[in-house]
Structures are given as structure tokens and as C-alpha cells.
């Protein structure tokens, strides 16, 4: 999926402590993009709305805990 991110409005988590370890998210009409805040010109992950919902459910269920 190719999405034009030039007009994306990136948001950082309110819980970000400024320690440089944060991701930014941009919600667009047909996709959700996520990138490393330390590398704003680097690659971004692109999710469909359904994929984003599944990703959030996985986080909430602890599927990504170490």
C-alpha cells in the first residue's frame, strides 16, 4: 500500500517523556501510519483501519509484552 504522507499530521503519545523513545502516529482517511519519532524522514509502517484495530487489540491483550 502506498500512501502520500506529505500532509500527514503526526501525533506523539501524551505519555512521552521526551527520552527519544517514542513513535508518532498519523490518522488518515484510508490508513494509519506509524513512524519512529527519532527518524521522521525514515520509513513508516502503514496500517489499514482493520489492521490498526487488530494491532491495538494485541497491545491491550499483552501479545507484545516481553
What are 51-61's pLDDT values in tens digits?
999 999 999 99
- DSSP E strand stretches across the chain: 11-12, 23-27, 32-36, 44-47
Residue 28 has pLDDT above 90, yes or no: yes
Residue 19 has pLDDT above 70, yes or no: no
The mean pLDDT of 15-34, rounded to a whole number, is 84
Output the pLDDT for position 3.
83
Contact 35, 45 (CB under 8 A): yes
- pTM value is 0.81
Amino acid at each position: 500500500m502506498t500512501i502520500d504522507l506529505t500532509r500527514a499530521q503526526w501525533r506523539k503519545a501524551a505519555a512521552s517523556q521526551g527520552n527519544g523513545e517514542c513513535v508518532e502516529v498519523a490518522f488518515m482517511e484510508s490508513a494509519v501510519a506509524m513512524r519512529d519519532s527519532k527518524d521522521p524522514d525514515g520509513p513508516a509502517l502503514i496500517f489499514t483501519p482493520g489492521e490498526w484495530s487488530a494491532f491495538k487489540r494485541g497491545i491491550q491483550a499483552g501479545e507484545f509484552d516481553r
